[in-house]
Structures are given as C-alpha cells and as structure tokens.
Amino acid sequence: MKIAVLKESAPGETRVAATPETIKKLSALGAALWIEEGAGEGAAIPDAAYAEAGAEVVPAAKAVESADLVMGVQAPDVAALSSVKPGAWVAATFDPFVQRERVDAYAKAGLEALALEFMPRITRAQSMDVLSSQSNLAGYKAVLTAADTYGRAFPMMMTAAGTVSAAKVFVMGVGVAGLQAIATAKRLGAQVSATDVRPETAEQIKSLGGKPIFAEGLEAAGEGGYAAELTDEQKAAQAEMVSAHIAKQDIVITTALIPGRAAPRLVSDAQIASMKPGSVIYDLAVAQGGNVEGSVADELVVIHGVSVMGYSNTPAHLPADASALFSRNLFNFLNAFWDEEAGKPVLDEEIGDAIRLTRGGEVVSARLKG
C-alpha cells in the first residue's frame, strides 16, 4: 500500500499528518511512505528525519502518484489528487458541514474521503480521536496566549512592595479544551470558575480545583456526549447567570461548540462592557462563528477596553506536539484496522460508516445526507 503525505496548503497550517515516529510504525506494517519535500517544515521536522525513518521524500506530484491512501491534517484540494489510484482513500479533517463543496468534489473525483472529525466518541476510538488530541492542546494554548496578553500576573504574590492578587479565570464550555484550560489556569495560579450546559461537567470542574457556575436547572445534553442547542428561555437564563458572573472576571476562555451548527453566542457586547478594562477574552470557537460578540479570527480587537482574541487554528500554534498527536491518532486508526492478508486497513461498519463521506462517486455520510 502506498501512503502519501502532502505539505499542508491551508493558510496558517503548520501541522503535518505524519512524523518520523509514525512513518516507522506504518512502514513496519508493510506500507510504503511517500512524503512531499518540506512537509514537516512548520513542525520543525526536516526532510532528512523522514528519509531516515524510511520515507521517500519527493515533490508533491511524485508523492501522490498511484497512492492508495493520502493522509492530511486538512484535506487537500482535489486538484492535487488527480494522479492517485482510482477510489483512493484520503484520511484527514474535512470540516464537512462548512466545506460541503469540497466533499462533493471528492465524490465527483471518485475518492473515498474519511473525515477524522467524525470519529465516533466510543472507548475503542479514543486513541484515534483527533478532535480530542487537538482540542486538548488548544485549551492549553488559549490560556497561555490570554495570560501573555493580560497585563497582570496569574498567581497571587506577596511581595515587599505589596500583594498581587490572583487572576480570576472563567472557562465557558467544559469539553476537552475547557478541561485543559481549567487545569492550565489552575497550574498558573489563577482562581478558576467554569460553566457548561451538561450537568456532569460540574464534578469534572471541581475535580480540577475549579468552581462550577451553573444557571439554575439549565441542561441541554445532546447526543453522543455533545451539547444541544439551548431554547430561547434557556439562553436567557444562561445570559443572566453570565452577566452576574463575568463582570468580576479578568480572563474568559470560551470553548463552546455544537456539532454541525454555528458556535453558540455566550458573551454579548454589553457583558464585555461590564468587565474591567485590561481583561482578556480568548474565543476558541472563533472559526465556527465565535462565542463572543465582536471576536475576529486571528486578530486582537479591543472592545470596551477588553482584549478579545482567538486564533482560527489554535493547535497550529503548537505545531510539533499537535502534529505528533494528530499523526499518532492516524496511526492508531490505520493500525487498529490493518489486515495483514490484505496489506491494508479494512474498516468495520461502526467506524467506517461514521467517518466515510464519499464512496463510488456518491456522498454516503448519513450526517451529511441529513
């Protein structure tokens, strides 16, 4: 089986879908690895390291020629894949709801698109879950970036010149990114509070040393451990709770997402205005429409004296670790299904049907067909 890895082409994308470690492991399974020159540059992996691990390091056209599988962080443009084997697999993130045209183009080209972000949240797929591995790093980096922008310290300090008080950090949305944000802010010495719409997160917040702040009776658990959209009444109850709490916060990290929908709006302009000047808000959902009114991807906007920021691709700001974890997720996925006789992975229904977007010229994903 020929596996190709291209240099990522999306603006600002620094990650790469294979590292020398996973090249070695995939080669040990019997695959031939072909990697585009310079693919690891953004993640500080030189071509020589890939070659040493056993990959052929070549120009893009040669890498994809007759490939059975192309691995990517973000799915490549279909135009880059014209010489792959008919029906070849492409395993990458596709952002399928937003980039629907790309999915249709993959179908038209007869490719089999495997969307890694559709990996089911089941125990045996945990090690293959790129959303978790990348969100975890994003939660960490969001706190560091906010701390760097904040003009004060995080921990309480008693000094001869007087006391510096601890920063108050409020984390909104306690999934994988939110939990890591709480843990990171605690380690930096902040006083941390957090909220979500899934009640089970209250215990998780406490176990990390944070204080759960929940609107009375508010609960909106959806399918598969994800949140559901709030009703208008629930939104009003949440807004009231946020208004009462946010004015006393120095740093707010928002992470709330609802699968297949725009990110829920959690912080309004009026709520920003109630915060102290110099406070910082990091909107991790900025690329999905944003949790914060007025947030702009990859820009620091000062609104009522509050710095509002958020990278559209936060994991790309930790390229080495993000690539290492992403590529291990990919390896774990291929390895779990590797069929020695076939010399390639053979997917089962539960996972295969969940992640497969296109096959035989058609869009086949149940989630996309609605």
Q: Please identify which of the residues 100, 121, 187, 265 carries the catalytic annotation.
A: 121
Q: Give catalytic status of residue 339 as yes or no.
A: no
CB of 8 to ligand NAD, least distance (A): 22
Q: Among residues 31 and 246, whose Cβ is nearest to ligand NAD?
A: 246
Chain centre distance of CA 22: 20
**DSSP string across 25-75:** HHHHHT-EEEEETTTTGGGT--HHHHHHHT-EEE-HHHHHTT-SEEEEEEP
Report, in Å, the least distance between residue 249 CB and ligand NAD: 15
Using an 8 Å Cβ cutoff, are 309 and 299 in contact? yes
Q: Which is nearer to ligand NAD, 20 or 178 (CB)?
A: 178
Q: Which residues on neighbouring strands pair with residue 308, listed in sequence order?
A: 281, 301
Catalytic residue check, 129: yes
Q: Which residues pair with 302 in a beta bridge?
A: 307
Q: How far is the CB of 312 from ligand NAD (least distance, A)?
A: 15
We find the least distance from the C-beta atom of residue 260 to ligand NAD, in angstroms, to be: 10
And the tokens for 34? Answer: 């072909």
Could you tell me the CA-to-CA distances from 255 to 151, 313, 346 in Å, in that order?
23, 13, 35
The residue annotated as part of the active site, out of 99, 226, 234, 312, is 226
* Catalytic member of 50, 102, 129, 295: 129
Q: How far is the CB of 158 from ligand NAD (least distance, A)?
A: 35
Q: How far is CA 207 from CA 36, 111, 132, 252, in A?
A: 44, 45, 19, 20
126 is catalytic: yes
Spatial distance between the Cα atoms of 369 and 356, rounded to a whole number of angstroms: 12
- Looking at the Cβ atoms of 251 and 266, the one nearer to ligand NAD is 266
The residue among 176 and 351 lying less far from ligand NAD, judged by its C-beta, is 176
Which of left, alpha, beta for 359 (phi over 0: left; psi -120 to 50: alpha)?
beta
Nearer to ligand NAD, 167 or 263 (CB): 263
Q: Kindly name the residue from 15, 50, 132, 311 that is annotated as catalytic.
A: 132
Taking CB atoms, the residue at the shortest distance from ligand NAD is 175
Q: Are 113 and 258 in contact (CB under 8 A)?
A: no
Residue 37: CB partners within 8 Å, gap ≥ 6? 7, 47, 57, 58, 59
Q: Judging by beta carbons within 10 Å of its beta carbon (0-12, 13-18, 19+), is residue 227 exposed, middle or buried?
A: buried
Smallest separation, CB 236 to ligand NAD (Å) = 12
Binding-site ranges for ligand NAD (CB under 6 A) = 121, 123, 125-126, 129, 131-132, 135, 172-178, 195-198, 225-227, 230, 255-259, 264, 266
Q: Which is nearer to ligand NAD, 197 or 316 (CB)?
A: 197
Q: Is 150 tagged catalytic?
A: no
Is-catalytic flag, 121? yes
CB of 55 to ligand NAD, least distance (A): 30
Between 63 and 177, whose beta carbon lies closer to ligand NAD?
177
Check 66, 126, 165, 207 and give the catalytic one: 126
Q: How far is CA 339 from the centre of its chain?
A: 29
Task: Compute and round to an integer the Cα radius of gyration of the chain.
Answer: 22
C-alpha to C-alpha distance for 132 and 325, rounded to whole angstroms: 10
Q: Give the active site residues.
A: 121, 126, 129, 132, 226
